[in-house]
Chain A
Amino acid sequence: MANTTTALGVRRIGDAGLMDIRGDVTAQSEPALAEAFAEASSGGIRAVILNFTALDYMNSGGIGLLVTLLVRANRQKQRLCAYGLNEHYRQIFELTRLDEAIAIFDTEDAAVASAR
């Protein structure tokens, strides 16, 4: 299994918690993603927004982790959104039909606006 280098930053803009994802998203990213999600989704926010602008690599294990984030967001009655996906990763979301459950936006502004 490939070594994973996932770097995550968490920000808050208005009613949204943002997770800036850099590097790889694989099954090995689980602890880092879970910790960042817990931070990003705290404090009564309405949406968690995943920033994939600096995503370098994602395999099917990573897709599975996104499913777990989706479940956690739904459980907390929060929306899960994404932006910064290039054409390739948009196609992966379409292939796995994650695009029907995670709202995808072109820009951060649009994603944040959807949380208002």
Chain B
Amino acid sequence: MSGRDEAYWAKPVRTLDVKEIPAGATSANVAGRRVAGAAQGFGQLWHKRFRVRLEGANVAPQEVIRVWKERFGDFWPKRARMFLPPAGIAPGEIGIINAGMPGAPTFATGVLVIYSDDVSFSFITPEGHMFTGPITFSAFDDDGTTVAEVEEFTRASDPLWELLMITPFVGDWMQNAQWIATLGNLAAHWGVRGKVDTRIVCLDRGRQWSQAKNIWHNAGIHSGLYAASAPFRRLARPNAKRQP
């Protein structure tokens, strides 16, 4: 028997395969990587929920999700870019993320779309991403008002990311502020200046030291190495052309 949700879920993949790199995107730390669930992460496990009520906006949850999927990256704060897959946000598609941090090279990672229906969609992250676990974007009706929500069950991937996440203001800026700004921008699309309601609960204060080895995949470190090796790649390119 198949579940009635079967069409909404991606099929399992051993490793991620980026078929097409969007123009202008730095695609690194995605292809060839496995996805990482919350059970594979290192840091404390958090359940985070961000909500904004679209008060006064006459818009159905389905329409919110349609627009959110279509313009996902447009609602992000300026410091980060999401390059949507050619097929859009659909099960099994991969999005490329490029983010800038002050004084640091472009941080490149991505997400796999694991679930998508008309009122929600979910991503899971590849090894090396800041956090591991599913993150779900949804909209629903609450007493006649549409509410947009971001919900995640995530851990920092490795000890380095965990250190950044627990550093005052830094972790908040890297992750929580991202979704608060996104929901604010989403609400503004319908002319709403809504307050984003935040609920953050630590489900597990322990660290999974068996997963400390994840640091070998750290996308921040690999992005730095990728940027540092750029001059060598540029030097190698003309030589490659001369070869028959």
Contacts and interface: CB of A to CB of B under 8 A. Distances in A.
Contacts of B134: 60, 63-64, 67, 96
A94 B12 contact: yes
Interface in A86-105: 86-89, 91-92, 94-98, 100-101
A70 B6 CA distance: 24
A67 to B, nearest CB: 5
Interface residues of B, number: 41
Interface in A42-92: 55-61, 63-64, 67-68, 70-71, 74-75, 86-89, 91-92
B9 interface: yes
Given A96-B124, A97-B36, A100-B39, A91 B114 contact: no
B40 interface: yes
Interface residues of A, number: 31
A37 to B, nearest CB: 13
Given A96-B37, A97-B36, A101-B39, A1 B140 contact: yes
Nearest to B208: A74
Nearest to B38: A67
A56 B9 contact: no
A60 B120 contact: yes
Given A60-B122, A96-B134, A27 B8 contact: no
A95 to B, nearest CB: 4
A61 B136 contact: yes
A95 B3 contact: no
A86 B3 CA distance: 8
A87 B12 CA distance: 12
Contact of A88 (B9, B39, B119, B153): B9
25 contacts: A1-B141, A2-B119, A27-B136, A55-B3, A57-B3, A59-B117, A60-B134, A61-B151, A63-B134, A64-B134, A64-B151, A64-B152, A67-B134, A68-B47, A71-B203, A86-B1, A87-B2, A88-B3, A89-B3, A94-B12, A95-B13, A95-B124, A97-B35, A98-B39, A100-B37
Going nearest first, the 10 A-B pairs with the smallest beta carbon separation are: A1-B140, A60-B122, A101-B39, A64-B153, A97-B37, A94-B12, A95-B12, A60-B115, A71-B204, A67-B38
